């Protein structure tokens, strides 16, 4: 993969910024149209589905064509400077559209809305609406205000908003896989990270509403749900009727019991919080996928301390050992930051060796980008020159490429249960699916009795660095 592609790669597999809509809404049913683009993490894509539901109730139907829209929304990301630059560029483009369509409202949602607040309205005059991640219920009111030319801003963060009662409208759905948000916010305060400031305090969603959403999806033909949160292992909800504490492990089990043919995934796990109870629950249920996203960030204990990750190199590597002990076939992936404040060459090499030890199947890799207001910005100097950051990142990418290839080569000759998600992007004669370890497998359709949502046994007989290639066996 090109360096630039990897630098652009963010924390999800969705296409950044791509507009999507469930359907071209019926003009008789909806008096107005909205167009939405999402950037950043899976949580943002999931939030856009809540926003779509709120807007549907207000008589706004989705459109894939912004020229048809009365309302254009960008659900934004602040995690790195580059993410914000992309959105600013896009806003300038929409501003031009508005010149020939004065009634058009442009809104910024998500983390940039929260971080920049009214600045976006006042100094830059780029937008009409600014709505933070906990304020989506007020969108209808804010739209009305903006329609009368007032400044419409709500960036209040909440201690209890989880949108538990809102049934998301599935956008750009393949009808087979879906996200379920189980908690919001983050209390971890990793020193490089802006998320605790833009998404607020951590809170867990009512377990019954999560189960109801999973059951509803399954009854509509969905076969895989991914439980989403910034730190899913700290999920904690008290069932007051039964006087029972629901931990993440308990929740995982309850969702797995919806049906043995419903696959369950989750993201993201913090190495300090993932418990043996979670690992044993995974091992006990075939339909909980053998895959853990376990971000290391750095392989050096001193740097991890500066990052406020609250674990050491040894603790992290022991966690990897524990996962492999309980589930020898479990896939593991990571997030890695190159060139954090004061990182030395030797400390950078500790990251490379930790990667080798952990044998990641894949990683999301970034160079450090200082974010205003974070602990690192206030405490440490961003002192690693950009060329060194980029060179270290390139070394990290090369190690990961090698590990991904090795991991795929090990799968040659093995047979996996694969959930068919749809056509391969390259050919309508091939299926696209994933195995439990979250690896993509492409294989010829052979006969035409199968369809998306079916499980098949696929034997791997070839691979690239990113994909397994196989054939259906009976
Ligand atoms: N600079 C670079 N990468 C960052 N991440 C979070 N904040 C920053 C930053 N300031 C990465 C971390 C995190 C992922 C979502 O993004 O690796 O796990
Ligand atoms: Fe950011 Fe750390 Fe929370 Fe992840 S766990 S969202 S990196 S503060």
Q: Please choose, from the candidates 351, 355, 362, 358, the residue with its C-alpha nearest in 3D space to the C-alpha of residue 392.
A: 351
User: Which residue numbers in the chain have pLDDT < 50?
Assistant: 1-14, 21-23
Structure tokens at 304: 């991890």
SS3 (DSSP) at 266: strand
Q: How far is CA 259 from the centre of its chain?
A: 24
Residue 14, pLDDT score:
46
Q: Which atom of ligand 2 is nearest to the CA of 196?
A: 8
Domain 177-409 - what CATH class?
alpha beta
For the domain made up of 415-472, give the CATH fold.
OB fold (Dihydrolipoamide Acetyltransferase, E2P) (2.40.50)
Task: Identify the DSSP state of 297.
Answer: B
Cα distance between residue 145 and residue 104, in whole Å = 14
End-to-end CA separation in angstroms for the chain: 34
Residue 19, pLDDT score:
54
Q: Which atom of ligand 1 is nearest to the CA of 374?
A: 10
Structure tokens at 235: 């999920």
Residue 112, pLDDT score:
96
Q: Which atom of ligand 2 is nearest to the CA of 270?
A: 5
Q: Which atom of ligand 1 is nearest to the CA of 79?
A: 7
Regarding the beta carbon of 368 and ligand 1, being less than 6 Å apart is answered yes
- CA-based torsion, 446, 452, 453, 459: positive or negative: positive
Regarding the beta carbon of 194 and ligand 2, being less than 6 Å apart is answered no
Exposure of 391 by Cβ count < 10 A (0-12 exposed, 13-18 middle, 19+ buried)?
Answer: middle
Q: Distance of CA 16 to CAs 5, 8, 74, 84, 178, Å?
A: 12, 9, 11, 12, 17
* Biggest CA pair distance of the chain: 65
Residue 13, pLDDT score:
41
What predicted TM-score, i.e. pTM, was given to this entire model? 0.93
Exposure of 122 by Cβ count < 10 A (0-12 exposed, 13-18 middle, 19+ buried)?
Answer: exposed
SS3 (DSSP) at 410: helix
> Do 3-154 and 415-472 agree at the fold level?
no
Residue 27, pLDDT score:
60
Q: Which atom of ligand 2 is nearest to the CA of 297?
A: 7
Task: Identify the DSSP state of 446.
Answer: -
Interval 406-445: pLDDT, tens: 999 999 999 999 999 999 999 999 999 999 999 999 999 9
Exposure of 409 by Cβ count < 10 A (0-12 exposed, 13-18 middle, 19+ buried)?
Answer: exposed
User: Which ligand is nearest the CA of 199, by number?
Assistant: 2
Regarding the beta carbon of 371 and ligand 1, being less than 6 Å apart is answered yes
Residue 2, pLDDT score:
31
Regarding the beta carbon of 203 and ligand 1, being less than 6 Å apart is answered no
Ligand 1 center to residue 96 CA distance, Å? 32
SS3 (DSSP) at 248: helix
* Domain assignments of the chain as residue spans, ordered by start: 3-154, 177-409, 415-472
Interval 102-157: pLDDT, tens: 899 999 999 999 999 988 887 777 899 999 999 999 999 999 999 998 889 999 99
- CA-based torsion, 117, 121, 122, 123: positive or negative: positive
Nearest protein CA to atom 2 of ligand 2, as residue: 190
Q: 293 pairs with which residues across the strands?
A: 333
Superfamily of domain 3-154: Methylthiotransferase, N-terminal domain (3.40.50.12160)
Ligand 1 center to residue 190 CA distance, Å? 9
Residue 30, pLDDT score:
81
Residue 28, pLDDT score:
66
SS3 (DSSP) at 135: coil
Q: Answer yes or no: are the C-beta atoms of 217 and 225 closer than 8 Å.
A: yes
Q: Write the secondary structure of the chain as one string of H (helix), E (strand) and C (coil).
A: CCHHHHHHCCCCCCCCCCECCCCCCCCCCCCEEEEEEECCCHHHHHHHHHHHHHHHHCCEEECCCHHHCCEEEEEECCCCHHHHHHHHHHHHHHHHHHHCCCCCEEEEEEHHHHHHCCHHHHCCCCCCEEECCCCHHHHHHHHHHHHCCCCEEECCCCCCCCCCCCCCCCCCCCCCEEEEECEECCCCCCCCCCHHHHHCCCEECCHHHHHHHHHHHHHCCCCEEEEECCCHHHCEEEECCCCEEEEHHHHHHHHHCCCCCCEEEEECCCCCCCCHHHHHHHHHCCCECCEEECCCECCCHHHHHHCCCCCCHHHHHHHHHHHHHHCCCCEEEEEEEECCCCCCHHHHHHHHHHHHHHCCCEEEEEECCCCCCCHHHHHCCCCCCHHHHHHHHHHHHHHHHHHHHHHHHHCCCCEEEEEEEEECCCCCCEEEEECCCCCEEEEECCCCCCCCCCEEEEEEEEECCCCEEEEEEC
Tokens 């046994």 belong to residue: 457
* Phi and psi angles of residue 94, each rounded to the nearest 5 degrees, phi first: -65, -30
Regarding the beta carbon of 198 and ligand 2, being less than 6 Å apart is answered no
User: Which ligand is nearest the CA of 197, by number?
Assistant: 2
């Amino acid at each position: 993969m090109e360096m630039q592609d990897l630098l652009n790669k963010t924390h999800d597999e969705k296409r950044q910024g791509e507009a999507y809509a469930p359907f071209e809404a019926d003009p008789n049913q909806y008096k107005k149209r909205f167009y939405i683009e999402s950037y950043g993490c899976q949580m943002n894509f999931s939030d856009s589905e809540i926003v779509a539901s709120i807007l549907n109730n207000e008589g706004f139907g989705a459109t894939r064509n912004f020229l048809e829209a009365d309302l254009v929304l960008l659900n934004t990301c602040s995690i790195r400077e580059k993410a914000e630059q992309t959105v600013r560029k896009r806003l300038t483009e929409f501003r031009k559209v508005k010149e020939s369509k004065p009634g058009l409202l442009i809104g910024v949602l998500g983390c940039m809305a929260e971080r920049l607040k009214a600045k976006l309205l006042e100094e830059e005059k780029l937008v009409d609406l600014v709505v933070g991640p906990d304020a989506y219920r007020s969108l209808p009111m804010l739209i009305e205000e903006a329609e009368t030319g007032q400044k419409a801003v709500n960036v209040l963060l909440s201690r209890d908003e989880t949108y538990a009662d809102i049934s998301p409208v599935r956008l750009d759905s393949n009808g087979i896989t879906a996200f379920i948000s189980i908690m919001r916010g983050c209390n971890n305060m990793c020193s490089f990270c802006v998320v605790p400031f833009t998404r607020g305090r951590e809170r867990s969603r009512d377990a019954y509403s999560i189960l109801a959403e999973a059951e509803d999806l399954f009854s509509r033909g969905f076969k895989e749900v991914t439980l989403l949160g910034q730190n899913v292992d700290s999920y904690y909800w008290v069932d007051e009727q039964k006087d029972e504490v629901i931990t993440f492990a308990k929740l995982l089990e309850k969702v797995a019991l919806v049906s043995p043919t419903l696959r369950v995934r989750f993201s993201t796990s913090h190495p300090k919080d993932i418990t043996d109870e979670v690992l044993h629950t995974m091992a006990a249920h075939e339909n909980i996928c053998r895959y853990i996203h376990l971000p290391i960030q750095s392989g050096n204990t001193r740097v991890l301390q500066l990052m406020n990750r609250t674990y050491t190199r040894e603790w992290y590597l022991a966690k990897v050992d524990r996962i492999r002990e309980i589930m020898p076939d479990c896939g593991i992936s990571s997030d890695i930051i190159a060139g954090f404040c004061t990182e030395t060459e030797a400390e950078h090499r500790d990251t490379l060796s930790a990667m080798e030890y952990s044998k990641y199947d894949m990683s999301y890799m970034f160079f450090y980008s200082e974010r205003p207001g974070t602990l690192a910005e206030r405490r440490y100097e961003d002192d690693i020159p950009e060329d060194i950051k980029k060179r270290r990142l390139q070394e990290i990418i090369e190690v990961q490429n090698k590990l991904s290839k090795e991991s795929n080569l090990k799968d040659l000759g093995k047979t996996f249960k694969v959930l068919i998600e749809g056509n391969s992007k390259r050919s309508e004669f091939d299926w696209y699916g994933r195995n439990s370890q979250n690896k993509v497998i492409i294989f010829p359709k052979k006969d035409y009795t199968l369809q998306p949502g079916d499980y098949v046994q696929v034997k791997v007989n070839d691979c690239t660095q990113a994909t397994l290639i196989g054939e259906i066996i009976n």
